[in-house]
Structure 1
Amino acid sequence: MLSTTRSTLRNTDVLVVGGGLAGLSTAVFLAQQGVDCLLVERQPELSGHPRARGVHPRAMELMRAAGIEDEIRAMPSARRLAHNSGVLAARSLAGPELGSLDDKYVMDVGADVASLSPTPWCLCHQGELEDVLRDRAERLGVALRFHTELLSFEQDGPEGEEITARVRDHATGAERTLKSRYLVAADGARSGVRDALGIPFDGEVFGHYINVHFRADLTEQLAGRRFLMCYTFNEQVRGALMPLDNSTDWLLHISYDAAGTDAGSFTEERCAELVRAAAGVPDLDPRILSVSRWEGAARTADRFHDERVFLVGDAAHVMPPSGGFGSSTGIQDAHNLAWKLAAVLDGWAGPALLTSYDEERRPISEATVEQAVLRSRDRLRLLDEPGGRRPADPGIVEDALVWLSWRYRSSAVTAWDESVLPGHGVWSAENDGRPGSRAPHLRLRRGGAELSALDLFGSRPVLLTGPDDRAWREAARAVSHDLDVPLALYGIGTEVTDIEDRWPERYGVTAQGAVLVRPDGVVAWRCADAPVFAGRTLRTVLARLLGRDAAGGAAGTTRREGSGER
């Protein structure tokens, strides 16, 4: 009989629940900021299942900041699929093509994004991406506890200042009580943490699917094509074939009627029949590696934040796979939250900063879910006759806008004019350094090495200035000292060189102006020219954006050092 002995596990800053893509990303980003965190995952190991493929440019920018871009691009699927692009529709892989996805809103994987980002798409599948993140988390000192389940949690303490969680090690049966300052729920679409908090997660179910990972040599049927996905429509199967190595390693998504079909009926034999139908090869003998089911749904949690608990990834939102936005959205959740937790734990931001997580990420997530839904419905146009295809839904915005041109409106950025976002909610085609937007990519040179402006951001706020920046330099030194904020300053034309001379154009300032960028690379505030009282202005702005009180205090928050049993 397994032991059920209890012990107390204390002194971790953040407990991360869930060891998938969002949870591992959260742990990596927190550890980069020096935050002591512990991750628990009820499964004994990572699944390794390919599932989603494709990491969008913004998510790859965050992987670059985490120091693992090269590792991800070196993974087998990323190398083998590096030159794949395009979405097709056909009766079967061997049969006649019905059309391709070539609408204006689509920015293909092979498109040149060098003017927008320092890093393009990467077609690494999720199983391999999670392996890289796990390795990086371990190197950064994150305590990873697989086969460990969260049983319950409470937000307690004299003033509700900590989390008390009970976890069980399934390998030994031992139960432990864990104290942490915050809890991040990355426990998936069926989040137990979200349910325990009573947070509604309503939405629409679009369909039910079976994923079949299989091996079969389809080189002849590919006929040299290098696509991302081939939708297959015939009497036997309606699904999508996705190559993992352009030869023998494949994933097949199969749509089925959950009301009239038992998911358990998808045996290996039946899945093999469906693979043959999708491939268009009646005598194919595929090797079925794994079969999993999933629900195609569009849902966003009513709130992403409940006192000291935060939802990220699928616990906060789920969306159809069309567009491939789901995993990248979860990575961005984690990145947005990590620096805020670190700033509050370190004491240079007030707890009020944490309310901006829900203010920022929930509207973006809702809008992204909507875009995924619109794209999912739009795929049916691939069945239209080539000469009479219906136009795309006008509500669909361009891929590049969804990836890179969202704008936050919250207490952690200065106010902005809503009129610059006509018709598309959170999306703006103006990528010019407006507050709330991702800081624009700018090619720079420092010490003989080329870098992006995005490489300057990470663990602390940054003040970017032009060459005429004496007033700002004096202000930054004084404010950093007075508020005890680790504020960095980079002069464009002094510390770094603007290779293409685009600084004023891209950031909307003059040679005397300045732009305040948050650690997550989001523009918090900008000033076109140096005001007479630069120090007073910068101090007021920084204190307000960081959730400090009127006197600039951060409510006495200091980081608790991890010192307990791990």
Structure 2
Amino acid sequence: MTQEIQADVLIVGAGPVGLTLAMDLQSRGVTVAIAEIRRYAEPPNVKCNHVAARTMEQFRRLGVAQKVRDAGLPPSHPNDVVFRTAVTGQELTRIPIPCRRDRYTETEGPDAWWPTPEPPHRINQIFLEPILLEHTAALPGVTLLNRTQVTAFTQDGAGVQASALDLDTGQERVIRARYLAGCDGGSSTVRKQIGARLEGTAVIQRVQSTYIRAPQLAALIPGKPAWCYYSVNPRRCGTMFTIDDGQTWLVHNHLNPDEPEFDSVDRDWAIRQIIGVGPDFHYEVISKEDWVGRRLVANRFRDRNVFLAGDAAHLWVPYAGYGMNAGIADAINLSWLLAARINGWGDAAILDAYEAERQPITEQVSQFAMEHAAKMIKARRAVPANIEQAGAEGEAIRADMGREAYQLNVQQFCCAGLNFGYYYSGSPILASQGEEQPPPYSMGGFTESTVPGCRAPHFWLADGRSLYDAFGPAYTLLRFDPAADADPLLAAAATKGLPITVLDVHAGKLPAAYRHKLVLCRSDQHVAWRGDAVPADPAGLVELLRGAIPLSSQA
């Protein structure tokens, strides 16, 4: 007998992107069904090692930030990135990053000044995903369908009907939803079914990656521990991540351009050269996690009622940790737009903003990642043959290499620009006509701004709350001057059911970017409009905010 399931949104894939999308939709009163081919709590791959500040801000809003921050490495374990001639060799340089015990209080160093209530967190996906899964599965209005494979779907005016198969029982399922979100990874069946194509650079580099158990390794590593170790020597360059309390490690062997296959290099030999140990050192291979660095972006993120997010929409070299985190940003953007439509105040065209906003951002971020990958490939090929030489000459070489490594890599591990600098432009729901251009940003640097499309700069309210803790579910109007009359805008919004939360700001020192009396922010923290007074046509602004004015007709 065919089982029938109904939900507002069907999500295909229960990785971090799909789970975040489900949590966010549920928080907005939207019912969700999640189809996932894996068993419940089946361990994920050892992939992502970093949760960005913007992601942690959203986890804070969704009630899981503290759970995430309490997991991963021990509280006092340094999150430093260290460069050595081998993991057990001589240190070249170190990028200091606070341990999670000191994450909120540390003020010194390139990663300790973040203008946010939730700084980044170093945690492997094997610890992160179970937290998100347990939280999501317990939410009312969420139906989790494990061992369920969506085999096909059709669309009509009312939404999407998907055919699915229970992989354990063989039972057929029909899932009916208004919208479908493909969060099903790089080989996405949803992307293939809607005819979208990944375009860009198919291979930037190959990485022979191995998850190992080596409990005796920690005792062999000199000096202060680290979260990430770069091994720089003429035999083999690679990277090693500390996964837990010193029992398991993830070793990346970065293959050279003349090593086109994953087995081009002997895996055991490479691991030993990267770590700096001889044949008597024992370790156990838990799994092989080989991957290809790419720069691929889908030529479209949507087909009518079906959307793509995460790796289904874009794949790139995960420098700066912006693979999973970019996918979660997709989910947050898509969620509030879908909820606007489902909850009745958003026009059908508001959904056009998803592709208009997220596709250009993925192009920007993937270019940053690709450019950094090219520089890293060049640096690995330029390691001096005598970098391990004893004496003054060797010390000078190592000092030079250390300075170069620090300058090249501090921006990707302390990537404030990618967290806080990116902005949306060309969106149909941003009141950007006549506005100045958003300030440029780099991987590591940015300028705070309230230009529509930018992230609303964070500050702490007089009552001790984060600005973002006071945001409403749709739009929030920040009023910096109590005499500024917002009633015409609120009245126009009320006629269309568009929710606007008014926040009268009483704070001490404000970021200099807040130069206007009124700043209207979206729930995803991006500025939608600003001014010293409500526009002469408040109804027109409301129509724009709810997606009812096509971009082509905006003057």
TM-score under structure 2 length normalisation: 0.85
**Deviation digits for residues 234-291 of structure 1 (CA, Å, limit 9, x no counterpart):** 576442111123523211112347997765899xxx7555433322121111122222
Matched, 1:411 2:408: no
- Alignment partner of 2:537: what SS? helix
253-262 or 147-156, larger mean C-alpha shift = 253-262
Matched, 1:218 2:217: yes
Q: Write out aligned runs for 1:123-138 (5 A).
A: 123-138=122-137
What residue is the counterpart of 1:538 in the other structure? 538
TM-aligned CA deviation for residue 127 of structure 1: 1.8
Given candidates 268, 271, 277, the residue that maps to 1:281 is 277
What residue is the counterpart of 1:462 in the other structure? 476
TM-aligned CA deviation for residue 61 of structure 1: 0.7
Distance 2:258 2:223 in 1: 39
51-60 or 415-424, larger mean C-alpha shift = 415-424
- Alignment partner of 1:199: what SS? coil
415-424 or 357-366, larger mean C-alpha shift = 415-424
- Alignment partner of 1:443: what SS? coil
Distance 1:134 1:117 in 2: 25
TM-aligned CA deviation for residue 305 of structure 1: 1.5
Matched, 1:40 2:45: no
Counterpart contact for 2:148–2:165, Cα < 8 Å: yes
What residue is the counterpart of 1:555 in the other structure? none
What 5-or-longer segments of structure 2 have no aligned partner? Answer: 97-106, 385-396, 551-555
Counterpart contact for 2:44–2:126, Cα < 8 Å: yes
Distance 1:306 1:378 in 2: 37
Counterpart contact for 1:213–1:288, Cα < 8 Å: yes
Matched, 1:434 2:442: no
**Deviation digits for residues 79-99 of structure 1 (CA, Å, limit 9, x no counterpart):** 364x312241x3321223455
What residue is the counterpart of 2:526 in the other structure? 522
What residue is the counterpart of 2:88 in the other structure? 94
- Alignment partner of 1:356: what SS? helix
TM-aligned CA deviation for residue 373 of structure 1: 1.1
What 5-or-longer segments of structure 1 have no aligned partner? Answer: 551-566
Q: 1:290 to 1:265 in 2, by over 3 A?
A: farther
Given candidates 331, 338, 354, the residue that maps to 1:334 is 331
Distance 2:89 2:445 in 1: 41
Counterpart contact for 2:441–2:447, Cα < 8 Å: no
Q: 1:368 to 1:261 in 2, by over 3 A?
A: closer
Residue identity in the other structure for 2:271? V
Residue identity in the other structure for 1:507? Y
Counterpart contact for 1:17–1:40, Cα < 8 Å: yes
Given candidates 294, 301, 315, the residue that maps to 1:297 is 294
TM-score under structure 1 length normalisation: 0.83
What residue is the counterpart of 2:488 in the other structure? 475
Q: Write out aligned runs for 1:375-524 (5 A).
A: 375-379=372-376, 380-381=378-379, 383=383, 385=397, 386-387=399-400, 399-409=415-425, 410-415=427-432, 420=437, 429-446=446-463, 450-469=464-483, 471-472=485-486, 474-492=487-505, 497-498=506-507, 500-502=508-510, 505-509=512-516, 513-524=517-528
Residue identity in the other structure for 2:521? V
- Alignment partner of 1:429: what SS? coil
Q: 1:197 to 1:272 in 2, by over 3 A?
A: same
Distance 2:286 2:457 in 1: 43
Residue identity in the other structure for 1:228? W
Q: 1:58 to 1:549 in 2, by over 3 A?
A: closer
Distance 2:164 2:171 in 1: 8
Matched, 1:176 2:173: yes
**Deviation digits for residues 313-364 of structure 1 (CA, Å, limit 9, x no counterpart):** 1111111122111111111100011011001001011111100000111111
What residue is the counterpart of 1:371 in the other structure? 368
- Alignment partner of 2:319: what SS? coil
Residue identity in the other structure for 2:415? D
Q: 1:87 to 1:195 in 2, by over 3 A?
A: farther
- Alignment partner of 2:328: what SS? helix
What residue is the counterpart of 1:560 in the other structure? none
Counterpart contact for 1:439–1:454, Cα < 8 Å: no
Q: 1:289 to 1:263 in 2, by over 3 A?
A: same
Residue identity in the other structure for 1:286? Y
- Alignment partner of 2:198: what SS? coil
What residue is the counterpart of 2:553 in the other structure? none
Given candidates 308, 313, 321, the residue that maps to 2:310 is 313
**Deviation digits for residues 281-304 of structure 1 (CA, Å, limit 9, x no counterpart):** 211111222222221111111111
Counterpart contact for 1:203–1:298, Cα < 8 Å: yes
Q: 1:198 to 1:258 in 2, by over 3 A?
A: farther
Counterpart contact for 1:414–1:524, Cα < 8 Å: yes
- Alignment partner of 2:379: what SS? helix
What residue is the counterpart of 2:388 in the other structure? none
- Alignment partner of 1:471: what SS? coil
- Alignment partner of 1:173: what SS? coil
What residue is the counterpart of 2:159 in the other structure? 162
**Deviation digits for residues 385-441 of structure 1 (CA, Å, limit 9, x no counterpart):** 553877979xx8982121111111101111256864577699993313111111110
**Deviation digits for residues 120-145 of structure 1 (CA, Å, limit 9, x no counterpart):** 11011112111111122122222111
Identity %: 28
Residue identity in the other structure for 1:291? K
Q: 1:175 to 1:458 in 2, by over 3 A?
A: farther
TM-aligned CA deviation for residue 60 of structure 1: 0.9
- Alignment partner of 1:79: what SS? coil
Q: 1:400 to 1:342 in 2, by over 3 A?
A: same
Distance 2:190 2:108 in 1: 37
Residue identity in the other structure for 1:77? L
Counterpart contact for 1:232–1:238, Cα < 8 Å: yes
Distance 1:133 1:376 in 2: 30
Distance 2:199 2:224 in 1: 40
Given candidates 47, 52, 64, the residue that maps to 1:51 is 47
Distance 2:174 2:525 in 1: 37
35-44 or 452-461, larger mean C-alpha shift = 452-461
Distance 2:163 2:338 in 1: 22
Distance 2:476 2:45 in 1: 39
TM-aligned CA deviation for residue 187 of structure 1: 0.6
**Deviation digits for residues 423-467 of structure 1 (CA, Å, limit 9, x no counterpart):** 769999331311111111011133xxx111122225221111124
Q: 1:238 to 1:118 in 2, by over 3 A?
A: same
Q: 1:44 to 1:258 in 2, by over 3 A?
A: farther
Counterpart contact for 2:475–2:522, Cα < 8 Å: yes
- Alignment partner of 1:547: what SS? coil
- Alignment partner of 1:451: what SS? coil
What residue is the counterpart of 2:118 in the other structure? 119
Residue identity in the other structure for 1:506? A
69-78 or 253-262, larger mean C-alpha shift = 253-262
Counterpart contact for 1:405–1:427, Cα < 8 Å: no
